[in-house]
Structure 1
Amino acid sequence: MDATYAALCKHGYASLRMQDIADESSKSKAALHYHYESKQDLLYSLLDYLTASFAERIETLEGETPIEQLLSLIETYLGPEEEDSRLEFRTALLEIKAQGPYDERFRTELAAFDRLLHDRFRSLLEAGQDRGLVREGIDPDETADFLVTVLNGAQARHVAVDHSTDRTRAALESYVHDHLQTTTAPEVGLE
């Protein structure tokens, strides 16, 4: 999976060949074909692997409160822009997302990833309401849907037109403080 990830980041979805993946690993192209019938099957497995890895990362978010963890999740998703490897990965992932309308399995995997992110936001919002940190009038499901849509749009915009995600992160931080967080909750910011 590491070799597939590295090759995908380096070559992009459209140009990726099984030989490129083999070149990044200790396995031959023939060995890859023994385990995976096609490049597509290998990419399906990679998307499964990335979803599982992301699920682990977002279950152990930094922060003591649901508000702090929600902000940490936003930071985790948008992450620092300076890293070239993150931009390469975001570009490759956007290329995979672009296959969703044409490939049922990609669409299914991407929908699972989307649900995972949505459900984590929803659970943090519900926990925040239970602890009196998130306003009662907020619908956790609708708000989670909004946050996922903004994050996906910010990533696509960053890759497509090199728009900074820093402004989106700052706007989401303000949104959390001004619209979601109760007025009695302590102020918590992204660093």
Structure 2
Amino acid sequence: MSDGDPADDIMTATYRALCTHGYADLTMQDIADESSKSKAALHYHYDSKHDLLCAFLEYLYDRFVERTSDPAGADPAAQLRSLVQTVLDKPEDDREAFETAVLEIRAQAPYEPGFRERLTRFDDYLAGEFERLLEAGIDDGVVDPAVDPADTATFLVTMLTGAATERVTAGRSVECTRRMLAEYVESHLLTDATEAQL
């Protein structure tokens, strides 16, 4: 995750520490132990663990945008399929322990406005991408014009978030979600189902 930048070093250390300790037991010392910096140096950049984790969520957001922006495909229908698949696919460097730690952070969002604000950015961005593709698909004649882009985008994000949560909490595969969303996209959103599948 790091490319030699001091900020990236801290983010990489935070990632490793979360994988090892989870959210609840994580301390600034744990992060320092994974970093080339001392605990005092971390506190120079971040007043608290909360502040550091807020910065880490922003870092993850930037990586998520990089991974999901500009989905592959020659038209909005293909790009819609591609975006769903990309979100369902775990990045190669993801670990189950890390996903669990992020879910712990998400569980704190109702009580931690800083976490809630940053986590909401993920959902808002993804909903915006789906809405954009659906609107473009309607304009191009490949998405049913009766589809409400905003409501459909919200539904897709809710399904994908739920699948990710089930993967962590119940060890449930996302393959059922992948299959059912593929069917939903083809039968309810597109005007002309193609051979391309998720």
- With normalisation by structure 2, the TM-score equals 0.88
CA distance in 2, matches of 1:56, 1:130: 26
- The 1:125–1:47 alpha-carbon spacing in structure 2 relative to 1, beyond 3 Å, is same
Matches within 5 A, 1:32-43: 32-43=42-53
Select 1:140's aligned residue among 149, 157, 160.
149
- Equivalenced residue count is 188
Cα offsets for 1:57-103 (capped at 9, x unmatched): 2222222221222222222212149x683422321221111001111
Matched, 1:164 2:173: yes
Following superposition, which runs of at least 4 residues in structure 1 exceed 6 angstroms of deviation? none
Which residue does the alignment assign to 1:186?
A: 194
Matched, 1:67 2:77: yes
Contact persistence 2:68–2:87 (CA under 8 A)? no
Contact persistence 1:58–1:120 (CA under 8 A)? no
CA distance in 2, matches of 1:78, 1:23: 32
Letter paired with 1:133: V
- The 1:10–1:73 alpha-carbon spacing in structure 2 relative to 1, beyond 3 Å, is farther
Which residue does the alignment assign to 2:34?
A: 24
Cα offsets for 1:146-183 (capped at 9, x unmatched): 00010111111111111111110111111111111112
Matches within 5 A, 1:1-191: 1-80=11-90, 85-183=94-192, 186-190=194-198
| Runs of 5+ consecutive residues of structure 2 not aligned to the other structure | 1-10
Larger CA deviation: 24-33 vs 59-68? 59-68
Letter paired with 1:156: T
Cα offsets for 1:1-26 (capped at 9, x unmatched): 12112211222111111122112221
Higher helix share: 1
Letter paired with 1:122: E
RCO higher in structure (CA 8 A, sep ≥6)? 1
Contact persistence 1:9–1:85 (CA under 8 A)? no
CA distance in 1, matches of 2:44, 2:65: 29
Is the partner of 2:141 in helix, strand or coil?
coil
| Runs of 5+ consecutive residues of structure 1 not aligned to the other structure | none
Letter paired with 2:44: Y
CA distance in 1, matches of 2:97, 2:175: 18
Letter paired with 2:32: A
Instruction: Kindly report the root-mean-square deviation, in angstroms, between the aligned alpha carbons of the 2 structures.
Output: 1.7
- The 1:164–1:84 alpha-carbon spacing in structure 2 relative to 1, beyond 3 Å, is farther
CA distance in 2, matches of 1:12, 1:75: 27
CA distance in 1, matches of 2:105, 2:74: 35
- With normalisation by structure 1, the TM-score equals 0.92
Identity rate, percent: 54
